[in-house]
Amino acid sequence: MKKGIQCTLIFAFRALAVILAILPLFFSPDLLQAQQLLSLPVDLSYLSQRADVIIQGKIVSVGHGTLPGYPNIRTTSVTLQVENMLRGPSTGSYTFRESYLGRRPGAGKQNYLSGQRVLLFLPSPSQIGLSSPIGFEQGRFHIARDAGGAEMIVNEVGNLGLFKDVEQKASKQGKKLTPNQRRTASIKGGPVRLDDFVSLTRSLISLPRIQ
């Protein structure tokens, strides 16, 4: 009987330790905002104004493990060879660590593969070193060539809603888009040319920042 009580107490203390370990993550402002954005649609204007790092590059390494100091928190560490840093530190490579806490098992291991070319809209790392794309799948773009050899870019929701009201939002801030940028902003969904996407993003990052 006493042995059973001891086992129950040990289990309870272990469970409490796990809860205490992950509790700070749930109250991290960055994570709370990221979780909120998971269920909210975001457009390119918001991504461009909110992200602290906007990086285009090739994934050269992907590591899976736990967050230092939080052994129960699974993370993915991604290192990019920088091709184009639209906003962020001037460097040849960039590494960030993403948590997939609360998401389906294995989700974090499927999002990034060595050799992929991506364009990411990231916030600055949180106090505990975590950083996930703004809007998760909405802020993570994949780059590939189409049948004609043109470089195309699309996020993981097919660019749906990505350009919604972007031209109007830019106009309200006194930003006039070029004819080509307006054509890009009129696309309803699906892959778009990488150079057109980057051109439009460069215009939008000149708008006032969103915190």
Q: What is the pTM of this model?
A: 0.80
CA distance 111 to 160: 19
Q: What is the mean pLDDT of residues 65-77?
A: 90
Average pLDDT of the chain to the nearest whole number: 84
Within-domain flag for 178: yes
The structural domain count of the chain equals 1
- 1 falls in which pLDDT band (50, 70, 90)? low
Within-domain flag for 7: no
CA distance 183 to 196: 9
Which residues span the domain enclosing 137? Answer: 34-204
Range scoring the smallest mean pLDDT among 4-18, 23-37, 67-81:
23-37
CATH of residue 143's domain is 2.40.50.100
- 118 falls in which pLDDT band (50, 70, 90)? very high
Within-domain flag for 112: yes
Burial of 56 (0-12, 13-18, 19+ CB in 10 A): buried
**Contacts for 26 with CB less than 8 Å, ≥ 6 apart:** 32
Within-domain flag for 124: yes
Q: Which residues pair with 134 in a beta bridge?
A: none
Q: What is the mean pLDDT of residues 157-165?
A: 96
Residue 49 near residue 13 (C-beta atoms within 8 A):
no
